[in-house]
A and B are shown apart, each in its own frame.
Chain A
Amino acid sequence: MTQSAFTSGVSAGRLSPEDLDANFSDLHAPLDDHTAAVAADRCYFCHDAPCTTACPTDIDIPLFIREISTGMPEAAAKTIFSQNIMGGMCARVCPTETLCEEVCVREVAEGKPVIIGQLQRYATDKLIAKGGHPFARANETGKSVAVVGAGPAGLSCAHRLAMLGHTVTVFDSRAKAGGLNEYGIASYKSTGGFAQAEVAWLLSIGGITVENGTKADLDALQKNFDAVFLGMGLGGVNALRAAGEDLENVTDAVDFIADLRQADDLSKLPIGRRVVVIGGGMTAVDAAVQSKLLGAQEVVMAYRRGKEAMSASEYEQELAASKGVHLVYNAAPVRILGDGAVAGVEFAYTQTVDGKLEQTGETFTVQADQVFKAIGQTLLGAPEGLVIEGGKITVGDTGQTSLAGVWAGGDCASGGDDLTVTAVAEGRDAAEDIHASLMR
């Protein structure tokens, strides 16, 4: 190997293939039967359980854990999938530490929750590995629905519609279905091609056609289908609006993450010796951690507000720190430095005064060969005629937009956090509402 962590600039092959394999393996190794049984035994089977209340998809968590404890992971998986058809991916990517596991009574009492996420993965992996599909379609209704976007919201909606007997066509602009599950999740959370395997398994219910690489036109869809669901996510990226943003090796973190997910050979993926990630969300953490795992010598993740305001959870921040990412709070980028290619970033320290963020006047510079921007995504190319507020399509409780016959859910729509699990819930609920409306 000719390159190393000390090679300056942006370069591929900083680590040996073995180290890369180890770095990008499963964040949590799958539970074996005995470990799962012991972990399941810790569940108290709470009455009206707080974990279920905290789950955006309302999975009956005590029930599925009890089913694991009695040696029936397949029954557990059906309990999960009946509420959340992407329970397999959610088990991997959900910030359980801020959802079910945060309110687990054993977390509250002992600081050691039942490992709900890992148990969910144990159960869902077992059922998917067994092959076949746990749900059957209802009789054909003769109704057709168009779904825009094959991400968690769109696929969840499509699956529920197909189950209810409708015929669904999913349109997606990318080459593969899965949305952020395929292009936007950190590699070590979805190893072994799970995203595509899950999509194939989900589609095996039948009644769903996916058309990749297509741009959908809402007017045409409304004409050709009985209903439309929009789940196209957030296609745009916020600009830094700082000088030097156009310098070479200053890119969007979402593109880096997508490239990484699609790379056949990580040793061919270039990464800077010194990387700066700007932002405080999950995308920033995923980009920063994976930069480190690819062999970057120094990775700084800078966020303009304080630690408590960061949208990445405490757990994710700790994960980043444990992988060697240097987290810097209250640092706003002032300008990107460099001549041709980026050489550094100048930051200003910030503080919050009377609820307003302001710069203290003090600045500092961080050396950088590569800068990833992760300061939020924006809705791009929303069809005309829809009411949009705060950069999101305005929807009602079950996803109805301002246009009759058009529903929306997931990151592109208002309501709920921008989480996989929330998108799945919104897609499912919109499907039920579409069904009720079509069968009226």
Chain B
Amino acid sequence: MADLSSNFIGIKSPNPFWLASAPPTDKEYNVRRAFEAGWGGVVWKTLGSEGPPVVNVNGPRYGAIWGADRRLLGLNNIELITDRPLEINLQEMKSVKRDYPDRALIASIMVPCEEEAWRAILPLVEETGADGIELNFGCPHGMAERGMGAAVGQVPEYIEMVTRWCKQYTRMPVIVKLTPNITDIRKPAEAAMRGGADAVSLINTINSITSVDLDNWAPEPSIDGKGAHGGYCGPAVKPIALNMVAEIARSAETANLPISGIGGVTNWRDAAEFMALGAGNVQVCTAVMTYGFKIVQEMIDGLSEWMDSKGISSIDEVVGRAVLNTVDWKDLNLNYIAKAAIDQDLCISCGRCYAACEDTSHQAIAMSEDRVFTVKDEECVACNLCVNVCPVEGCISMNPLAVGETDLRTGKEVVAEHGDWTTHPNNPSCLLA
């Protein structure tokens, strides 16, 4: 049986599944339920400075998009950091950590971008027995308007500065949570590293408006007829998050920077994918807000089963395993030639591959009068669109041509050598090569 225990920057947890700093981790009550359900760790909902807490709106905080059967695909929120007094949160954190010493408890923090503010709060957090802190430089709404959250995360110099303060004033490991609302995710990650961060976590939510109320001409969720952009999360953001995690994992500058993967993790497979691309563990929010804490059991069972089936015994063997295979476009082998093939036994003759290819791609699928669909090898560029629009799993496959076979589209023989853009004759930059 696979060992799921995790050691992320020295913070131990029985499994790599943490709850992200968010509504599910705002109170002792919720966090105890999460630990009882089996979650390995919790990043407590972001703490602010002492004094009067923030206030939230009293109308809808969430907006969503759904599939046809109300499967929640994406969630948007305009909630702020914890709106409970700091002392209460700290007391509760201490109490929970005392009762669950084997679980990871991380404090998420967001205070003004002033050294004194950070110096004031860090000892208070340390006193709870928390295993580490996460700097919330990602929250894209509300707090960002006040110069915190994403407003810090979008300025690498600020990230470096605040990270350095934290490393200076606490012995706890420091995780810097990054905002995706930036053009190049590597820059803030590098800044965190320069500041001495032990790890980065990403992604925070993406600036978003989920929908528009066409009767009232207002974005949703609407508060008294007006709407503000929120932060987008849930299954829909996973591809964006995966790429950003991979960007940091495969960059030479940040290759050794531990990553806590966040963004649409909904099941064991999502978690395994994040870890394969370099995340040491994952954080989950939307999935539990949709289904409750119990899903962690599926994640534990599924990851364990998959690791056993692969002969993988520990989480470390998964982390980063796909990073080396994540390359730039220019490094892709242009001598690799594949062709689509339609399994006629599985084909249900819906014609979607034909419509997609004929209308929008390469006119590489033929349709007979009796609705038999076949691939024209002399036109097929193996773009995979037919595979993606086919409603039958496994019906269309992309089969590589063997070395020595002739590509009917180009008339050229398939060669064994790797040949990419860097050496391609059409590339003006490699004329000398």
**Interface residue? A364 (CB, 8 A):** no
Q: Does B348 contact A (CB under 8 A)?
A: yes
Q: What residues on B are CB-neighbors of A47 within 8 Å?
A: 350-352, 354-355, 367
A12 within 8 A of B: no
Q: Is A48 an interface residue (CB 8 A)?
A: yes
CA–CA, A105 to B353, complex, Å? 14
Q: Is B321 interfacial (CB 8 A cutoff)?
A: no
Question: Which of A33-41, A281-289, A421-429 sits within the interface?
Answer: A33-41
What residues of B have a CB within 8 angstroms of the CB of A37 in the complex? Answer: 68
**Does more than half of chain B's interface fall in helix, strand or loop, or is it mixed?**
loop
Does B69 count as interface, using CB distance less than 8 angstroms?
yes
Contact between B371 and A50, CB atoms less than 8 A apart = yes
Residue on B nearest A49 in the bound complex, by CB:
B351
Q: Would you call A44 and B391 a contact (CB within 8 A)?
A: yes
Tell me whether B354 and A108 are in contact (CB under 8 A).
Answer: no
Cβ distance A36 to chain B, nearest Cβ, rounded Å: 10
Closest 10 pairs (CB-CB, A-B) = A47-B351, A41-B68, A47-B355, A109-B348, A105-B348, A46-B350, A44-B350, A105-B350, A38-B69, A44-B391
- Chain B, range 311-356, C-beta contacts under 8 Å to A: 348-352, 354-355
CB-based contact B69/A108 at 8 Å: no
Chain A residue nearest to B66 (CB atoms) is: A37
Asked if A50 and B349 sit within 8 Å, CB to CB, the answer is: yes
Please give the distance in Å from B354's CB to the nearest CB on chain A: 5
Considering the chains assembled together, what is the distance between the CA atoms of A69 and B66 in angstroms?
13
Knowing A47-B354, A47-B355, say if A41 contacts B69 (CB, 8 Å): yes
List B contacts of A69 (CB < 8 A): 68
Shortest C-beta distance, A115 to chain B (Å), equals 14
Rounded to whole Å, the gap between the CB of A186 and the closest CB of chain B is 32
Q: Which chain B residues (352-377) contact chain A, with CB distance < 8 Å? A: 352, 354-355, 367, 371
B392 at the interface (CB under 8 A from A): yes
Q: Which residue of A lies closest to B353 (CB)?
A: A47
Give the CA-CA distance A46 to B67 in the complex, in Å. 20
Interface residues on A, range: 10 to 19
Question: Are B68 and A45 touching (Cβ within 8 A)?
Answer: no
Question: In the complex, are the beta carbons of B69 and A45 less than 8 A apart?
Answer: no
Contacts A44-B350, A46-B351, A47-B350 known; A109 to B392 CB distance under 8 Å?
yes
Contact B352 A46 (CB under 8 A): yes
**A-B pair number, CB within 8 angstroms:** 37
Measured CB to CB, the closest approach of chain B to A43, in angstroms, equals 10
A103-144 with Cβ < 8 A to chain B: 105-106, 108-109
List A residues at the B interface (Cβ < 8 Å). 34, 37-38, 40-41, 44-50, 69, 105-106, 108-109
Most A Cβ at <10 Å: residue of B67, B68, B350, B391: B350
Which chain B positions have C-beta within 8 A of A40? 68
A37-B371 Cα distance, complex, nearest whole Å: 28
CA distance A70 to B355 in the complex (A): 21
> Can you name 6 A-B residue pairings with CB atoms under 8 Å?
A40-B68, A44-B352, A47-B352, A50-B349, A50-B371, A108-B348
Interface majority SS (helix, strand, loop, mixed), chain A:
helix
Q: Give chain B interface residues in 31-49, CB to chain A under 8 Å.
A: none
Q: Contacts A47-B355, A50-B371; is A108 near B349 (CB within 8 Å)?
A: yes
Instruction: State how many angstroms separate the Cβ of A355 from the closest Cβ of chain B.
Output: 29
B195-224: CB near A (< 8 Å → 1, else 0) gives: 000000000000000000000000000000
Distance A47 CA – B367 CA, assembled complex (angstroms): 10
Q: In the complex, which residues of chain A have a beta carbon less than 8 angstroms from the beta carbon of B371?
A: 48, 50
Distance of A40 Cα from B69 Cα, bound (Å)? 10
User: Once bound together, how far apart are the Cα atoms of A34 and B67, in whole Å?
Assistant: 11
Q: Is the CB of B69 within 8 A of A105?
A: no
Candidates B348, B349, B352, B354; contact of A45 at CB < 8 Å: B352
Inter-chain contacts of B67 with A (CB < 8 A): 41
- What are the residues of chain B within 8 A of A105 when measuring CB–CB? 348-350
The answer to whether A106 touches B348 (Cβ under 8 A) is yes
Closest to B356 in A: A47
Q: Is A48 a contact of B351 with CB atoms below 8 Å?
A: yes
Q: How near does chain A come to B296, taking the closest CB pair, in angstroms?
A: 29
Task: Identify 11 new A-B residue pairs, CB closer than 8 A, beyond the known A47-B350, A47-B355, A105-B349.
Answer: A37-B68, A38-B68, A38-B69, A41-B68, A41-B69, A46-B351, A46-B352, A47-B367, A48-B371, A69-B68, A109-B348
Interface string of B271-306 (1 = CB under 8 A from A): 000000000000000000000000000000000000
Please, how many angstroms separate the alpha-carbon atoms of A45 and B389 in the complex? 11
A64 to B281, CA, bound (A): 47
* Most A C-beta atoms less than 10 A away, residue of B67, B371, B392: B371
A108 to B67, CA, bound (A): 25
Docked Cα-Cα span, A311 to B85, in Å, equals: 77
How far is B350's CA from A331's CA once the two chains are assembled, in angstroms? 42
Give A341 to B227 CA distance when docked, in angstroms.
78
In the assembly, what is the distance between CA of A106 and CA of B352, in Å?
A: 13
User: Residues of A contacting B350 with CB < 8 Å?
Assistant: 44, 46-47, 105
CA of A40 to CA of B68, assembled, Å: 9
Per the bound structure, the CA–CA distance linking A38 and B71 in Å amounts to 11
| Residues from chain B with Cβ under 8 Å of A48 in the complex | 351, 367, 371
Closest CB of chain A to B351's CB: distance in Å? 3
How far in angstroms is the closest Cβ of chain B from A171? 44
A47 and B360 alpha carbons, distance in the complex (Å): 13
Residues of A within 8 A of B392 (CB): 109
Chain A residues near B355 (CB-CB < 8 A): 47
Q: B residues 373-393 with Cβ under 8 Å of A?
A: 391-392
**Shortest CB distance B405–A (Å):** 30
Nearest CB of B to A411, in Å: 32
Docked Cα-Cα span, A109 to B352, in Å, equals 15
Q: How far is the CB of B115 from chain A (nearest CB, A)?
A: 54
Q: Which of B171-201 contact A (CB under 8 A)?
A: none
Shortest Cβ distance from residue A212 to the other chain B in the assembled complex, whole angstroms: 44
Shortest C-beta distance, A238 to chain B (Å), equals 38
Q: List A contacts of B68 (CB < 8 A).
A: 37-38, 40-41, 69
Most buried by B among A38, A41, A105: A105
Distance between B70 CB and nearest chain A CB, rounded to angstroms: 8
Contacts of A108 in B (CB 8 A): 348-349
Which residues of B101-129 have CB atoms within 8 Å of chain A's CB atoms? none
- Chain B residues within 8 Å of A109, by CB: 348, 392
Q: What are the residues of chain A within 8 A of B352 when measuring CB–CB?
A: 44-47
In Å, the complex CA distance between A429 and B70 comes to: 42
For the complex, give the distance between the alpha carbons of A37 and B68 in Å. 6
Nearest CB of chain A from residue B391's CB, rounded to whole Å? 5
Q: Tell me, rounded to whole Å, the shortest Cβ–Cβ distance linking A218 to chain B.
A: 43
Q: Complex: how many Å from CA A106 to CA B392?
A: 10
Nearest neighbor of A110 in chain B, beta-carbon distance: B348
CB distance from B322 to the nearest CB of A (A): 33
Q: How far is the CA of A49 from the CA of B367 in the complex (A)?
A: 13
Q: How far is the CB of B253 from chain A (nearest CB, A)?
A: 46
